[in-house]
Structures are given as structure tokens and as C-alpha cells.
Amino acid sequence: MKIDKPAVDKLADLAKLEFTDESKTEIIQDLNKILAFVEKLEELDTNNIEPLIYMTEEANVLRTDAVKNDLTKEEALKNAPVCDSDYFIVPKVLDKK
């Protein structure tokens, strides 16, 4: 399979993207390289290969949760553009209409 300009135009339309002609040329080359690599991978015999679920056999090493107060309210509000004594003040986003 080869990628051509109409295929890139269709992909751009589906993705709601706009490309210049120069960008389209680069994208065509890049996509063709990717497809050539995938075609090369398809040549491999993977019949006796087990699917890989995890990259390693190790389990996640998680730390225990510890409650701690690292940031005070005053420190959190210190760099806020607009705030009152307890809260950040932000512009209204939703109308109740």
C-alpha cells in the first residue's frame, strides 16, 4: 500500500487538520516509511511467540500512602492572580440559563 496526496487529504479532512503542499509531501514520505516498516514486521514468523502482556515480570512497587500537609493555604494562594482569604477567584465559565 502506498500513501498518496488524496489519502493525505482525506486523513487531514477526517482529523480536521490543514497542511501546506510542502507539509503534505513530508507527511507522504513519513507515512510511506511507516508502512514499509510495518510490512517488514509482517514478514516475521510469530507463530510460536507468546503475546507480551507486561514488559517485565516485576510487580509494581508502590509506596504506602501517607497523609502530610506540605503546602499551606497561604502558600497555595500566594501566587494566585486573584484570590480572597480562602479561595482562588476565577472567571465564570458556565451560565445557569
Q: Is residue 78 part of a domain?
A: no
Q: Which residue range is the domain that position 35 belongs to? A: 5-42
Helix (H) or strand (E) holding 21: helix 21-42
- The amino acid present at 33, given as its one-letter code, is K
pTM, two decimals, is 0.50
Instruction: Taking residues 34-48, report their average pLDDT.
Output: 92
Averaged pLDDT, 26-44? 94
Q: Number of folded domains in the chain?
A: 1
Q: Closest Cα partner for 72 from 53, 86, 58?
A: 86
**40-66 exposure pattern, b = at least 16 Cβ within 10 A, e = fewer:** eeeeeeeeeeeeeeeeeeeeeeeeeee
Residue 12 placed within a domain? yes
Confidence of residue 69 (pLDDT cuts 50, 70, 90): confident
For residue 30, the domain's CATH number is 1.10.20
The mean pLDDT value of the chain amounts to 89
* Mean pLDDT for the stretch of residues 11-25: 94
Residue 19, domain member (yes or no) = yes
Can you say whether residue 49 is alpha, beta or left, with left for phi > 0 and alpha for psi between -120 and 50 degrees?
beta
Q: Is residue 14 part of a domain?
A: yes
